[in-house]
A and B are shown apart, each in its own frame.
Chain A
């Protein structure tokens, strides 16, 4: 029977939890785990256990965020502490079975060290914990009770008021208050309205959204349905980049399972609210992460952006009011309505509430997904959690915000991470990419890398972005080749200003940020190349 009340869901939750066993093995099977060989480890475990006739369930789960330690295998045995083993190749399986499962001895050298750091998991609450392909696991974790609460006990106005109270701001980059966005969309009058989950994740070097979609797709789905109810949307779209086949597969499965349980489709949870979802795929164009270009792409057209206003909340997909939210934003929504807006607002700082997920990569010892309360300092993220540069090297700077962001040198690492503080430093929060660079990395080269990316990805519609970007890239190449002049630095700044002011969309308006911020903090590196 399909659940139609909070009580039904709580009962289901109880039953599933009770039927679970205390002894199990879990293998992280997300893109990163699979790339490191987790699939082979998983099959080997099952095969050897079967051969030895040991009755232990081997479960699959998403990415726990510790990418440097993949493949990860977690073992829980009655009467023993739960242990996670790192870098478990196929060949290590027999030892784990022999020593840990049969011999009841923890293999200390292989265990992931338990450290106390500032991580707090809201968005990633179920990632690496539940089986993303099984809706029962999500229900066992309390899933869909927030949706039931919302649909059965709140009006759309109340939902929006609660969301405003939580202080949630968009995690896709710009930090626009989500409650306000929903409010505006809900007030737009039209026969049809849409809500879109932006899973285009274009920032190269970042994979927060992939982590969530692969590890806990229902958390995003639940947020999307709540958003549909609050904004009055009749239909939802999941816009996922084509480069994430596993995320697409898991989202598809999640949608089917949610439909079967009555969390999607006609008369959701027995109420008169009906809402359904469709997946639309990106096709390798960074600009399509920008909301107006994304709309064109959903409409089956070239992903050309167009000037705002009109904003999507007034005129979006097929010219209907459309609310566009990022994956992480929506995963926060389902948590907020499960635990309450006050709870959420109590995490982080006043104007930046909740947590933020970062993909900490590059020259860092423990690269992976990290989730910390807003206001955590960069130092705590890079050193306490990331473990520094590793290999005896010194960290020089981080880069946040991808091609639209900037670098932050080491001396500013005591800055708390908030939308405003990062902006003051000439960077942005962005979607969560945090690239660590060490003493060997050239800041001119990194600026050239990002600008080259934007030049490649510029859609070419407006001249400031198309021509300005190319001219800047020529100047950077000239400098990198040792043929630069001091006057070039002035030109770079001048063109940057023109692009910021005159470009049509966010891509061009922000494309010069990596150049400006490296010029701001590392002008000497440019000058050294010019002198040499």
Chain B
């Protein structure tokens, strides 16, 4: 992205929050919504625009689990590790995912297709164990179903490997 474009986009995001006290976290949410992570060059621009030191921005990003500093894979697979899901076998799902696509929570497949993360309670505990891929929620998942779920999102080449 060229500098001009970047400045324009940051401006759009920051404007509604301008002058509101404590706006930094809300601005970072908007950024992550838009780019799926918080790119470094955007942080630089936000620092200028909000007139806060870059260190303050990074201090916040690194404290909160929700914010990502690197582009996640194309499909974000979230495995709930809340208490209900844990008791109902979520750790087995994590093992199965690793078996299928070779990555652990916090990692992205080399082809950038999947990013796997462990999350704390998605609020569907009654349907435990729960995993989500993007916005789609899969409930009462059994390890045997993992391969099929991942295959729904794989590009043809990876799908063959996954099934």
Contacts and interface: CB of A to CB of B under 8 A. Distances in A.
Interface of A: 31-32, 34-36, 67-68, 70, 201-207, 210, 242-244, 278, 280-286, 297-303, 317-318, 359, 361-363, 367-368, 399, 402, 433, 435, 437, 441, 446, 449-450, 453, 459
Given A242-B66, A285-B65, A362-B88, A433 B83 contact: yes
Contacts of B86: 205, 449
A67 to B, nearest CB: 3
B121 A362 contact: no
Contacts of B119: 243
Given A205-B82, A435-B83, A361 B137 contact: no
Interface stretch (B4-12, B18-26, B69-77, B94-102): B18-26
Contact of B120 (A204, A210, A303): A204
B25 A35 contact: no
Contacts of A203: 121
Contacts of A298: 22
A205 B90 CA distance: 13
Contact of B21 (A34, A281, A318, A367): A318
Given A36-B127, A361-B126, A362-B84, A280 B121 contact: no
B41 to A, nearest CB: 21
Interface of B: 20-26, 28-29, 59-60, 63-67, 81-88, 119-128, 130, 137-139
Contacts of A286: 120
B22 A280 contact: yes
Q: Which 10 residue pairs across A and B have the least CB separation, nearest first?
A: A67-B126, A205-B83, A204-B82, A283-B64, A284-B66, A284-B65, A35-B137, A300-B24, A300-B22, A283-B66
B125 A367 contact: yes
Given A68-B126, A242-B66, A299 B21 contact: yes
Given A32-B127, A363-B87, A303 B64 contact: yes
B87 A31 contact: no
Given A35-B130, A300-B24, A433-B83, 14 more contacts: A35-B137, A68-B127, A204-B81, A207-B121, A243-B123, A281-B29, A283-B29, A298-B22, A302-B59, A362-B84, A362-B88, A363-B87, A368-B126, A449-B86
Given A204-B83, A435-B83, A441-B87, A280 B124 contact: no
B125 A359 contact: yes
B127 A70 contact: yes
Contacts of B64: 283-285, 302-303
Given A67-B127, A205-B125, A359-B125, A299 B83 contact: no
Contacts of B21: 299-300, 318
Contact of B83 (A282, A362, A459): A362
A70 B126 contact: yes
Given A280-B26, A300-B25, A435 B87 contact: yes
B117 to A, nearest CB: 10
Contacts of B85: 205
Nearest to B126: A67
A282 B25 CA distance: 8
A280 B25 CA distance: 8
Contacts of A449: 83, 86
A243 B124 CA distance: 11
Contacts of A367: 84, 125-126, 128
A437 B128 CA distance: 14
B60 A301 contact: yes
Most buried by B among A242, A244, A297, A368: A242
Contacts of A205: 82-86, 121, 125
A299 to B, nearest CB: 4
Contacts of B83: 204-205, 361-362, 399, 402, 433, 435, 449-450
A449 B90 CA distance: 12
24 contacts: A31-B137, A32-B127, A34-B137, A35-B130, A68-B126, A203-B121, A204-B120, A205-B83, A243-B120, A243-B122, A280-B22, A281-B25, A282-B66, A283-B66, A284-B64, A297-B25, A300-B25, A302-B60, A303-B63, A361-B125, A362-B84, A362-B87, A446-B87, A449-B83
Nearest to B63: A302
Contacts of B81: 204
B77 to A, nearest CB: 15
A67 B84 CA distance: 13
B123 A361 contact: no
Contacts of A207: 121, 123-125
Contacts of A68: 126-127
Contacts of A36: 127, 139
A32 B124 contact: yes
Nearest to B138: A35
B26 A437 contact: no
A202 B123 CA distance: 10
A331 B82 CA distance: 25
Given A31-B123, A299-B21, A449-B83, A361 B128 contact: yes
Nearest to A433: B83
Contacts of B122: 31, 243
Contact of A453 (B65, B87, B120): B120
A141 to B, nearest CB: 24
Nearest to B23: A300
A299 B22 CA distance: 4
Contacts of A450: 83
Contacts of A280: 22, 25-26
Contacts of A282: 66
Contacts of A283: 25, 28-29, 64-67
A378 B87 CA distance: 20
Given A35-B139, A363-B87, A300 B29 contact: no
Contacts of B28: 283
A318 B137 contact: no
A202 B65 CA distance: 13
A210 B123 CA distance: 7
Nearest to B83: A205
B126 A32 contact: yes
B23 to A, nearest CB: 6
A206 B121 contact: yes
Nearest to B121: A204
Nearest to B130: A35
